[in-house]
C-alpha cells in the first residue's frame, strides 16, 4: 500500500522488463477507484484510450522507451474511502511498428450520426 492524502501528487513509473531492446511501453488507460473490482461506478479517469482525462496529469520523459513515467493529483474522493486502487492498461509494441497501438495515441470515440 501507498499512503496518500487528497490532492497530493502521485508519481507512477511502469517498466517493461525485457531483454528485447526494440519493445516499447504505452499507457492506454489508467483509472482510480475505491473498488478493486469496479473501475466504472465511482472512478476517476486519469487516461482513457490514450487520451488524458485528468488536468493534473503530467508525463515525464524517459530515454528508455520501455519506461513510462507520469504523475497526477489524488482525486478528492479518496478521503471518503479506506483504500483506493489504480488500474492501468498498458500496451507493449515493437518500437518500429508505426501502425501499432503505441503510435496511435489518443483514440476518441467516433460520434454516431443521427438520421431522420
> What average pLDDT does the segment 97-109 reach?
91
* Total domains in the fold of the chain: 1
Q: What is the pLDDT of residue 112?
A: 54
First and final C-alpha spacing in the chain: 54
Residue 91 φ then ψ, to 5°: -115, 140
d(CA 17, CA 6): 32
Q: Say if 99 falls within a structural domain.
A: yes
Domain that holds residue 49: 8-103
CATH number for the domain spanning 33: value is 2.60.40.4100
Q: Say if 15 falls within a structural domain.
A: yes
> What average pLDDT does the segment 62-74 reach?
94
Could you tell me the pTM of the whole model?
Answer: 0.82
Q: Say if 42 falls within a structural domain.
A: yes
Residue 93's pLDDT band, with cuts at 50, 70 and 90, is very high
Q: What is the pLDDT of residue 29?
A: 94
Is the CB of residue 31 less than 8 Å from the CB of residue 45? yes
Is the CB of residue 25 less than 8 Å from the CB of residue 67? yes
Q: Say if 2 falls within a structural domain.
A: no
Is the CB of residue 30 less than 8 Å from the CB of residue 75? no
d(CA 44, CA 28): 15
Residue 102 φ then ψ, to 5°: -60, -30
Residue 116's pLDDT band, with cuts at 50, 70 and 90, is very low
- pLDDT at position 10 over 80: yes
Nearest to 37 by CA among 83, 76, 90: 83
The overall average pLDDT reported for the chain is 88
Q: Say if 112 falls within a structural domain.
A: no
Q: Say if 74 falls within a structural domain.
A: yes
Amino acid at each position: 500500500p501507498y499512503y496518500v492524502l487528497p490532492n497530493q501528487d502521485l508519481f507512477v513509473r511502469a517498466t517493461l522488463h525485457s531483454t528485447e531492446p526494440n519493445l516499447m511501453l504505452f499507457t492506454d488507460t489508467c483509472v482510480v477507484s475505491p473498488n478493486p473490482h469496479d473501475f466504472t461506478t465511482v472512478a476517476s479517469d486519469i487516461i482513457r484510450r490514450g487520451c488524458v482525462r485528468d488536468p493534473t496529469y503530467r508525463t515525464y520523459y524517459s530515454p528508455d522507451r520501455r519506461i513510462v513515467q507520469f504523475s497526477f493529483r489524488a482525486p478528492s474522493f479518496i478521503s471518503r474511502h479506506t483504500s483506493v486502487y489504480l488500474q492501468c492498461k498498458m500496451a507493449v509494441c515493437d518500437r518500429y511498428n508505426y501502425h501499432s497501438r503505441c503510435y496511435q495515441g489518443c483514440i476518441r470515440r467516433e460520434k454516431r450520426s443521427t438520421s431522420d
